């Protein structure tokens, strides 16, 4: 089935960069950051993405054109909360151009689209759906304080056995929580440490 390439999504920003966190850290990827989110993560570093109406509607055709100009073959669809939208037309169209699709979501909405990799990073203010957790290839928990470790384990118990588990320090309290994360991962080696390496590299 072919989808209408004139289908639009609110696009806050798009850019070709290096994936800075999680399982695919270090790989080149083109980011499509969709506007619109009602999850309200207090640690969100792109709060300007929350209002969909603040961002232009961009066609799938235009997005593909930009990605092809960058000569990228991997695409990260993030937000905001991208799963507020039906992503099947977008991912199907990207796949028709032999592009790999990765998703970053809170898991608070049903997953749509076709994906090579799904990262679920849940938030306490809008709980992830059980079905989203069960489809996750990667569970990434942001650690802000000590109580977040117990919360992390509650969600790790809901993902499938092959899901990769990450603990990531909230950037503003990095120096405080990083030693806690290191100690925790040493005691619970099923978890891995993720840091925002793109901030170290000073890239988007």
DSSP for 80-100, written as a single string: S-GGGS--HHHHHHHHHTT-E
Domain-by-domain residue ranges, the chain? 8-201
Look at residue 43 in the predicted model and tell me its pLDDT. Answer: 62
Look at residue 47 in the predicted model and tell me its pLDDT. Answer: 72
**Separation of alpha carbons 36 and 159, rounded Å:** 26
Look at residue 124 in the predicted model and tell me its pLDDT. Answer: 86
Residue numbers of the chain with a pLDDT score lower than 50: none
pLDDT in tens, 130-161: 999 999 999 999 999 999 999 999 999 999 99
Look at residue 41 in the predicted model and tell me its pLDDT. Answer: 67
Look at residue 73 in the predicted model and tell me its pLDDT. Answer: 98
Candidates 153, 129, 130; CA nearest to 141 is 153
Residues present in the chain in total: 204
CATH architecture of 8-201: Alpha-Beta Barrel (3.20)
Look at residue 143 in the predicted model and tell me its pLDDT. Answer: 97
Look at residue 62 in the predicted model and tell me its pLDDT. Answer: 98
């Amino acid at each position: 089935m072919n989808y209408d390439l004139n289908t639009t999504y609110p696009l806050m920003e798009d850019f070709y960069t290096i994936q800075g966190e999680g399982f695919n850290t270090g790989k080149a990827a083109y980011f499509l950051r969709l506007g619109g989110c009602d999850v309200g993560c207090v640690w969100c570093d792109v709060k300007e993405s929350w209002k969909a109406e603040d961002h232009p509607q961009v066609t799938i055709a235009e997005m593909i054109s930009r990605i092809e100009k960058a000569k990228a073959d991997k695409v990260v669809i993030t937000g905001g909360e991208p799963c507020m939208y039906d992503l099947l037309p977008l991912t199907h169209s990207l796949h028709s151009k032999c592009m790999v699709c990765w998703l970053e979501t809170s898991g608070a909405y049903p997953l749509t689209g076709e994906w090579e990799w799904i990262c679920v990073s849940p938030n306490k203010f809008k709980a992830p759906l059980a079905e989203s957790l069960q489809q996750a290839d990667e569970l990434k928990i942001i650690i802000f304080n000590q109580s977040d470790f117990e919360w992390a384990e509650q969600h790790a118990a809901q993902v499938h056995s092959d899901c990769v588990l990450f603990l990531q320090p909230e950037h503003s309290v990095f120096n405080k929580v990083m030693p806690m994360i290191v100690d925790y991962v040493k005691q619970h080696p099923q978890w891995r440490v993720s840091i925002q390496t793109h901030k170290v590299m000073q890239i988007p």
